[in-house]
Amino acid sequence: MQVRPMTIGGAWVFTPRQFPDERGVFLESFRADLLTEVVGHPLDLQQTNTSVSAVGVVRGIHFADVPVGQAKYVTCTTGAVFDVVVDIRVGSPTYGQWAGVLLDDVDRRAVYVSEGLGHGFISLQDGSTVTYLCSSSYNPTAEHGISPLDPAIGIEWPATARDGSALTPLLSEKDVAAPSLAQAAGSGLLPHYQRVLDYLRSL
Exposure on the CB side of residue 203, measured as CA atoms within 13 A: 22
Catalytic residue among 73, 132, 144, 193: 132
Q: What one-letter code names the amino acid at 87?
A: D
Catalytic residue among 62, 73, 144, 193: 62
Exposure on the CB side of residue 123, measured as CA atoms within 13 A: 20
Identify whether the C-beta of residue 195 lies closer than 8 Å to the C-beta of residue 99: no
CA distance 177 to 145: 9
Q: Is 192 among the residues known to form the active site?
A: no
CA distance 59 to 81: 10
Q: Is 193 among the residues known to form the active site?
A: no
Identify whether the C-beta of residue 45 lies closer than 8 Å to the C-beta of residue 133: yes
Exposure of 148 by Cβ count < 10 A (0-12 exposed, 13-18 middle, 19+ buried)? buried
Q: What one-letter code names the amino acid at 81?
A: V
CA distance 12 to 113: 7
- Specify the DSSP class assigned to residue 162: T
Q: What one-letter code names the amino acid at 102?
A: L
Catalytic residues: 62, 132
